[in-house]
Amino acid sequence: METTIEKEQDRQALRSFNEHEAWRSVLELCGEQTREGAPAAKQDDPVEKRVCSLSYTLKQAAKRAGVNADTLRIAAAELALDSFLDPRGKLRFPVYTFSPTAADPDLREMIAGYQRLHPSELRTALALDQRRLDRRLREAGLSPKRLVWRDLRGLWELPETFAEYRQLLDVREDDAGRGKRKRRGGRARRRRKQEAQSKLRNRLIDAFPKWRNDWRDQQQLYLHIGEPNSGKTHDALQALKEAGAGWYLAPLRLLAYEIYDRLNEEGVACNLLTGEEYIPVEGARITAATIEMFNAADSGACVIIDEAQMLADADRGWAWTRAFMESAAPEMHIIGPPTARQLIEVLAEAAELPCELVEHQRLAPIAVAERHFTLESLPASTILVAFSRRAVLDLKMKLERLGRAVSVVYGRLPPEVRRRQADRFAAGETEICVATDAVGMGLNLPADVVCFYEVEKFDGKDDRPLFPSEVRQIGGRAGRYGMSTTGLIAATNRDDLDRIRQLYAQTPATLTFARVAPSVDDLNLIPGSLSEQLTQWAELKSIPQELRAVITTADMDERIELAKMLSDDDIKRLGLANALQLVNAPTRKGTRAYWLDCAHMILEGYQIPLPAEAPAPINDGGDLEAVEFSIACADIYLWLSRRREFGQFCEAGAQVREERREWSLSIDEALRRNLNTARRCRACGALLPSRHRYRICENCFARRRH
């Protein structure tokens, strides 16, 4: 025992000696000047204490220079400021060299040149609205995502130094704060505001649509409930064909296309109507459409609402609720999984709509595999599921290098390309289909095996585990009726397979809420700018008491972001109805700038700009992403061209539709080749792992942090 204690004491002594020597080595870099506010360094002080007295930490130095720590770290690297890492890994700056630097106005301004600016602060300093700031930034060739002081000093009458800029910003923020306090007033004014909100909520509740319509007595709802691959859609379509007139409403253009083709091939004339395209067929009284395009005033004899679990979708669920509650067709067929049954039945009761349940059983049995598959051992006719575009493309490349023929399906692909890729897989031209959860939304993609490469997904806000309902919806694609004895749900490693088995065995949570969106009449009741109206409408949640247990408001985030990009004058010139229509355009974060350019041209009465020309041919992943972006912009153009309010500004619609078709074909052709879509670190060029989320590798990230 004594020997063990002695050895431990020796090790501690050695560690102490090594630490002492490490601090001595950095002490030589510190000079003799003591930091302001620190006790004077003495020769008999511990070495660590002397180093701390003679140097600034990163945070202390940043405060001394009047910038934030990240700015100083970058400036130190770029300007080669004297600095070192202490034995604890902290970045330090010797007082004797840094103090003169921070005191020199020119050097201090050089450091401040690396300071990142937030667009909202710049907007305040310049007293501009978002639209005018965006215009100035575009004209100056600056990106709002990367604003640094050295690019802006002296521009647009801004001060020449960062210190003066901060003073200007403080004055403007104080003015804004005083104005806000003055507007809000005291406690009595807040009480009046609450009373006004209460009155507004009641007015909105009074304006809530009445769903118990006169025609309910002549309506019958058939609720088709069952797992995927149970014949729900087939039976509902038979009823639509027998009715001879009506609608099939889908969540995706791809699914609407599929039904459009299917009915016309069977000799049943059917139109196609999506947000971007209308294909009339002579004599057709049936229309296959994306659900947002449904015209309830012309419901026909029969309406099919597919994928009814989308009632609960935060962003688009309002369209399912509207179609369900406003359809005047004598016969309605709603198709969904068991999780949607309770919600639909409650909504039907609220509308006094007679509801008949039609339960469907799977046509082919399904089971969870006993053992996991590796990428090398995946059987033919397998859908391999990942949850990001980059993971899908990386897996495609890996599988092709293993000699496998691969199709891909992911959300950003144009519908035509997804369909071509799916058709090749269904026809056996490819062995594996690598897909995101887009594959779980009604796509006719028969497979023997659905194999999960990932069991977590990014839902737009956070990474989270899959829900049991998602495993059932996606995994339910396994099993081809009449072709497979059993469909298999699998995973690519043992732990993930165990997790999939647990999730599949759980009873999925039932859907709780359907969604509703505001009408123009609703917004007319609310004061403020369009973004404020949308925000307040969402916050008020003005739902009648008897429906609050099953109805909630839609997610307005994207529409609010678009509305913020329009000034009050823009809204006034457009008119509220047109402005609301405009912010409903199918945008995402990357296409907002193009949408804003379109909005500005509409306001000025000019033709909207054409989408950016796509690269040709597609040689790598960067080209592929650029073509996808051009198609996304083309979708906005075509969506606007199909709107009565904006069609006059989109005279090149035929040209854009043809270019979009060619770009889609080029993507399909590129995906048929062994296209190299490998992602590389933007800093060093190293290959990035397929599940790596960021654009630089871990090594470069670590170097930047230090």
Residue 582 has pLDDT above 90, yes or no: yes
Contact 209, 248 (CB under 8 A): no
Q: What is the pLDDT of residues 328-364, one digit of tens each?
A: 999 999 999 999 999 999 999 888 899 999 999 887 7
Average pLDDT (223-251) is 92
Average pLDDT (118-124) is 75
Q: Where are the beta strands (DSSP E) in 187-251?
A: 220-225, 246-250
- Which two tokens mark 240? 């639509």
pLDDT at 22: 76
Beta bridge partners of 309: none
Query: How many of the other CB atoms lie within 10 Å of CB of 488?
Result: 21
Alpha helices, DSSP H only, in 38-143?
A: 47-53, 58-65, 69-79, 95-103, 105-112, 119-126, 130-139
Residue 574 has pLDDT above 80, yes or no: yes
Torsional sign, CA 328, 331, 336, 337: positive
Question: Could you write out the DSSP letters of every residue in 533-581?
Answer: HHHHHHHH----GGGTTTEEEPP-HHHHHHHHTS-HHHHHHH-HHHHHH
Q: Ranked by mean pLDDT, which of 122-126, 168-172, 447-451, 702-706 comes out on top? A: 447-451
Residue 181 has pLDDT above 60, yes or no: no
Average pLDDT (156-164) is 74
Q: What is the pLDDT of residues 448-466, one digit of tens each?
A: 999 999 998 876 667 788 8
Residue environment code for 310-323, b if the CB has 16+ CB neighbours within 10 A, otherwise e: bbbbbbbbbbbbbb
Cα dihedral: 317, 320, 324, 330 (round 10)? 180
Which residue has tokens 């930490």? 57
Average pLDDT (478-489) is 74
Contact 274, 290 (CB under 8 A): yes
Q: What is the pLDDT of residues 639-692, one digit of tens each?
A: 999 999 999 999 999 999 999 999 988 888 888 877 777 666 767 777 777 556
pLDDT at 347: 92
Q: What is the pLDDT of residues 542-556, one digit of tens each?
A: 888 888 888 999 999
CA distance 323 to 389: 31
Residue 186 has pLDDT above 90, yes or no: no
pLDDT at 694: 62
Ordered by start, the domain boundaries in the chain are 25-112, 119-184, 219-359, 366-505
Q: What is the pLDDT of residues 503-529, one digit of tens each?
A: 999 888 888 899 999 999 999 999 999
Residue 427 has pLDDT above 80, yes or no: yes
CATH number corresponding to 219-359: 3.40.50.300
pTM score, two decimals? 0.68
Residue 1 has pLDDT above 90, yes or no: no
Long-range Cβ contact pairs of 519-528 (< 8 A, separation 24 or more): 519/207, 520/576, 520/577, 520/580, 521/207, 522/204, 522/207, 523/576, 523/580, 524/576, 525/200, 525/203, 525/204, 525/207, 526/200, 526/204
pLDDT at 271: 96
The per-residue pLDDT of the chain, averaged, comes to 84
Residue type, 395: L
Torsional sign, CA 159, 161, 167, 172: positive
Contact 301, 315 (CB under 8 A): no
pLDDT at 184: 47
User: In the CATH hierarchy, which fold is given to the domain comprising 25-112?
Assistant: Multidrug-efflux Transporter Regulator; Chain: A; Domain 2 (1.10.1660)
Residue type, 361: Q
Q: Ranked by mean pLDDT, which of 110-124, 201-215, 558-572 comes out on top? A: 558-572
Residue 183 has pLDDT above 70, yes or no: no
Please tell me whether residue 651 adopts helix, strand or coil conformation.
coil
Burial class of residue 646, CB neighbours in 10 A (0-12, 13-18, 19+): buried
Percentage of the chain lying above the pLDDT 70 cut? 89
CA 657 to chain centroid, in Å, comes to: 25
Contact 367, 417 (CB under 8 A): no
25-112 and 366-505 have identical folds: no
pLDDT at 487: 86
Choosing among 3.30.160.20, 3.40.50.300, 3.30.70.380, 2.120.10.30, the CATH entry for 366-505 is 3.40.50.300
